[in-house]
Amino acid sequence: MRTIIIAITLVLLSCNNRKEKDPVMLAQSEYFRAIGENDVKLKTPKAGEWLFEHKEKGQTFEAYKGSKPIRPTSHKAVIYLMPIGDFTPLQEKGLKLTRDYVEIFFQLKTILLKKVTDKTVPPYAIRQKGNNNIQLLAPYVLDSLLWEKTPRDGIALLAISAKDLYPKNDWNYVFGLASYTRRVGVSSIYRLQNKQLDTVNFGLFLRRLVNISSHEIGHMMSIQHCTFAMCVMNGSNSLQETDLSSNRLCSECQKKLFWNFRYDNKQRLKQLYDFCLENNLEWDAKVLKLDSDVIK
C-alpha cells in the first residue's frame, strides 16, 4: 500500500511539474479558470442531434497538445478565404465581415481572395436537388479547385461557395467539408440565408457564416468537436442545431487555441465583443460580456 501511495504521489508531482514548465500557460491559468465559470454544460442529446448520432468522446487539452497541431511561424501565419461563384453585394458584405471576424477569432492575419468561378466544375461534380438548387460536389472542390492553391504563407484556406454542397450521392447536403491534414476546406452560404438574403435576415446570416467559418478553420488547427460545453466547436446535424450553438469557444477549447497561437486573451475578447456589438450579434455579445465581467 505504501508503495502505491508513493507511486501516485510521484505521478501527481510529475504532472504538476509538466504544467509548470510552460510559464505562459501558467500566467494565464486564472483567465481560463475565470471564464470556465461561464461554460454551459451540454444537455443530454436528443434524437437527430449530433452527439446522439455520433458517440464522440471529445478532445482534452492534453490530447490536443499531443496531436502536434500546425503552429504559426514567421513564414506561414495567414488565413485565406476564397469565394467561389457569384455573390450579391449583400452577400459580399457578409464575406468581408467574416474576414474581419476570422482575423479577430484566431488573431491571425486573414485575407479575402478574389472570387473564383464555379463554371469550370464538370457535370459529374454537379447535381440539381429540388427546384433550382444546383449543388457542387464538396470533395471535388477540395481536390480540384483548392488543390495546391494555398498561398505559400497560408496556414489555412477556406473556400466559401455561393452554391449548395453535397459530400456524396446518398447525402442531401453538407454545410462544409475540410481536409484537416492539408488544412483546406469549403463551406456554403446557400442554406444560411433563409432562401433569400435581405437586410432583415442579414444578422442571422452573418452569425451562421462566422460560426461555420470559425468551426471549420478550428478543425484545420486540429481542434476536434467539443463535447464538454456549449462551444462553436460542437458538432451540428442541422441549421437549427447550429443556431442554438454558441459562437464562443468554451474554456477548454480556448486553452487549446491560446497554447498554440500565444495571443493576448483580453485583447481578443474585447475585439470579439466589439465586433458583435457593431454588427448586431446581440446574443453573442451578451455571452462575451459575461467573460469580460469575470476577468476584470
Active-site residues, by number, are 216
β-pair type (164-166, 134-137): parallel
Which residue's C-alpha cell is 505521478? 11
* Cell numbers that stand for 76 in this block: 506561414
β-pair type (126-128, 78-84): unpaired
Q: Determine contact, residues 174/138, Cβ cutoff 8 Å.
A: yes
* Cell numbers that stand for 72 in this block: 504559426
β-pair type (126-128, 134-137): antiparallel
Maximal C-alpha separation, the chain: 74
Phi, psi of 255 (to 5 degrees): -60, -40
Closest-CA residue to 107 (of 274, 260, 211, 223)? 260
Size (the chain), residues: 296
Please list the residues that pair with 161 across neighbouring strands.
84, 188
Phi, psi of 185 (to 5 degrees): -155, 170
Give me the amino acid identity at 162.
Answer: A
Contacts of residue 241, defined as CB under 8 A and 6 or more positions apart, other chains included, come to: 49, 50
Q: Determine contact, residues 176/202, Cβ cutoff 8 Å.
A: no
Q: Determine contact, residues 227/118, Cβ cutoff 8 Å.
A: no
Please list the residues that pair with 160 across neighbouring strands.
83, 187
Q: Determine contact, residues 192/208, Cβ cutoff 8 Å.
A: yes
The Cα–Cα gap between 174 and 75 comes to 33
